[in-house]
Amino acid sequence: MVRRHELTDEAWEVIGPLLAPTRMGRPVRDRRQVLNGILWKLSTGAAWRDLPERYGPWKTVYERFRRWSADGTWDRLLAHVQQHSDAIGEVDWSIVCVDSTIVRAHQHAAGARKGGPWTGEALGRSRGGLSTKIHLACDGRGRPLTFTVTGGNVNDCTQFEQVMARIRIKRCGPGRPRTRPARVVADKGYSSRKIRAYLRSRGIACTIPERVDQISGRQRRGEILCRLDRTVYRRRNVVERCFIRLKQNKALATRYDKRARHYQAMITLACLRLWLPT
């Protein structure tokens, strides 16, 4: 029987072969059991020490999570599932929606020593206190393609090119990886000449509304306003729905991890679940 928060048999068939243990060395604990324990932690946000006994010793599950976070296992699993989905035509490349969301950092995540408190750990002080911001791009069906993590006080437009540069889905056969959608849809926070020029140079259409001050400036200079296709812009809500689904995982909705790489691993794992069959 598959419990809540655990992988289904269909999902395990997709990623299980990538986690197969080597033949050499002493026997290791069941990989599916360990992964289900990590998913339980992701869904509930509880402490590692509170892990139910059915998943084995909590130290074993935590060490496996830490090891797989360090060697890029989560990134490889996500890339594999995205590649498989793209091969069967399930990735909607007609539009890519880009947006960000702020996640409040728990006191356990912000409890570093004084002197170099948050350097390199994607924590920043905003209106609500210490927080982290997730910058994400999703396809037309609302499934995450890639993301970056910064402090909560980082402006959205500064991460746009980095997010777009990380979109990279390999093909099953020969050929270059798929990196360019037909169109990018974003809100006013991404309205800048630099971003529009960046998309234009790559041959990507954009649907980004201008800010009020930009519209006023164009009118004063007698320039033509940028056209906004509101029918296409309404499709931007897929990225909002994507954030809602990701934040159903309590370990992601509130940041409890001190290390940015551990929190990034949790986000990658949450993204992976949205691609796996249910």
State the pLDDT at residue 117.
Answer: 52
- CATH number of the domain at 215, please: 3.30.420
Q: Is residue 183 part of a domain?
A: yes
pLDDT digits over 123-163, tens only? 888 777 889 999 999 999 999 999 999 999 999 999 999 99
- Residue 185 falls within a domain, yes or no? yes
Of all residues in the chain, what percent are helix, strand and coil, respectively (each to 5)? 45, 15, 40
* 61 belongs to a structural domain: no
User: In this structure, is residue 10 part of a structural domain?
Assistant: no
Q: How far apart are the C-alpha atoms of 255 and 238, rounded to whole Å?
A: 23
Partners of residue 151 on adjacent β-strands: 132
Q: Say what the pLDDT of residue 115 is.
A: 46
Q: Is residue 104 part of a domain?
A: yes
Which residue segment(s) compose the domain that 189 sits in? 92-256
Question: What integer pLDDT is reported at residue 29 of this predicted model?
Answer: 63
Amino acid at site 132: T
62 located within any domain: no
- pLDDT computed for residue 35 by the predictor: 95
Q: What is the pLDDT of residue 111?
A: 63
Domain count, the chain: 1
Cβ neighbors of 80 (< 8 A, separation 6 or more) are 14, 15, 18
Is residue 129 assigned to a domain? Answer: yes
Which stretches in the chain have pLDDT values below 70? 1, 21-29, 111-119
Rounded Cα–Cα distance for residues 187 and 207 (Å)? 8
Residue 139 in domain: yes
| 258 burial level (CB within 10 Å; 0-12, 13-18, 19+) | middle
